[in-house]
A and B are shown apart, each in its own frame.
Chain A
Amino acid sequence: MTFEQVSFFVLAAVALASGLGVILFRNAVYSMLSLILNLLSLAFFFLMLNGMFIATIQVLIYAGAVMVLFLFVVTMLTSDNASVGGRDRLRWQWGAGFFLAVIFAGSLSLALLQGSVARDACSFDPQGCLAAQVAKNGNTETFGLALFHAYSFPFEVTSVLLVIAVLGAVVLGQRALRAGREAPLEQNGATERETEEVANAR
């Protein structure tokens, strides 16, 4: 076996085991850490597929920033609430879920094994295909050229989406504050009430 095959199988085993860990751990914090391991193993897959820049932003943004936000909320909500730990009242759901999963994974794998990949871009466009561009310009520059020239409009729409998400989070947080008691007017009272609410939750 070549080095690529060995690393592929090791990474695939890590990715699938940590993926199973996400849904099998009873404690949500363990699931979270398992998910971070899964994201890191996917970043190594991206490296194997010559996507160095994407692997870097996967580690920095996804496994770093997004998952830290996630972990904050998980630890905030699971610390002392036993019902959050995931007691299952419907045991048969596991059997039904596993049955559907076998059907789904089997049909997907069958479709993947029977299909064939379309033509490689390098066979009809040897100058402009990805491998040639990466060899000429480097990994990050190829991505940047594509993102800011051919795909600049989707990139701008992405910024609008992020602004909407930030505004939505602020509005949701504000409404939850006001629901606690009658509309807190001054900032100071709001933060005091906030700490009081957290203390009540303990």
Chain B
Amino acid sequence: MPVSAYLIVSALLFTIGAVGVLVRRNPLVMFMSIELMLNAVNLSFMAFARFLNSVEGWIFVFLVLTVAAAEVVVGLAIIVSIFRTRRNIDVDELSLLKG
């Protein structure tokens, strides 16, 4: 398969993730959509590593994975703390920065 096939799959996955962030109102699903976008980018990094024959793509995927893990931990902690104070996590109703 040519490199553009992998890149188009990656672009479509990224688009799905972006649409998820735009249309869904549940912060957990928005978070999953962000994960989807990160993984779409990982796929294009892997495709470039394979077709340009350079190891930098793998290193970037590793770093993105680590950043995604850290992001999940902090983001879920924030969502849980919002849920504890508000009992409700619909993003349309979270219009105040101060609880």
CB pair A23 B33 closer than 8 Å: yes
- In the complex, are the beta carbons of A28 and B26 less than 8 A apart? yes
The contact of A146 among B16, B55, B70, B92, by CB within 8 Å, is B55
B98 to chain A, nearest CB (A): 12
Within the complex, the shortest CB–CB distance from B22 to chain A, in Å, comes to: 4
A173 contacts the other chain (CB 8 A): yes
Q: Is A57 an interface residue (CB 8 A)?
A: yes
CA–CA, A78 and B67, complex, Å? 26
How many A-B contacts at CB < 8 Å in the complex? 238
In the complex, which residues of chain A have a beta carbon less than 8 angstroms from the beta carbon of B22? 93, 96-97, 100
Which of the four size classes fits the interface of chain B? 35 or more
A15 CA to B11 CA, complexed, in Å: 12
CA distance A46 to B81 in the complex (A): 36
Q: Are B9 and A12 in contact (CB under 8 A)?
A: yes
Q: Give Cα A4–Cα B51 distance, bound, in whole angstroms.
A: 15
Note all chain A residues with C-beta closer than 8 A to B39.
38-39, 42, 62
Given A147-B62, A166-B73: A130 touches B49 (CB 8 Å cut-off): yes
Interface range, A side: 35 or more
Closest Cβ of chain B: how far from A79's Cβ, in Å? 12
Task: Give residues 59-83 of B contacting A (CB, 8 Å).
Answer: 59, 61-63, 65-74, 76-81, 83
Per a CB cutoff under 8 Å, which of B13, B24, B77, B81 touches A86? Answer: B24
CA gap between A93 and B88 in the complex, in Å: 21
Whether B59 pairs with A154 at a CB distance below 8 angstroms is: yes
Asked if residues A179 and B24 are in contact (CB atoms below 8 Å), the reply is no
Q: Pick from A49, A164, A179: contact of B70, CB below 8 A.
A: A164
Q: Which A residues contact B (CB, under 8 angstroms)?
A: 4-5, 8, 12, 15-16, 19-20, 22-23, 28, 31-32, 35, 38-39, 42, 45-46, 49-51, 53-54, 57-58, 61-62, 65-66, 69-70, 73-74, 76-78, 81, 83-90, 93-94, 96-98, 100-101, 104-105, 108-109, 112-113, 115, 117-122, 129-131, 133, 142-143, 146-147, 151, 154, 158, 161-162, 164-166, 168-169, 172-173, 175-176, 179-180, 197, 201
The 5 nearest A-B residue pairs measured at CB? A165-B70, A23-B20, A176-B81, A172-B77, A129-B53
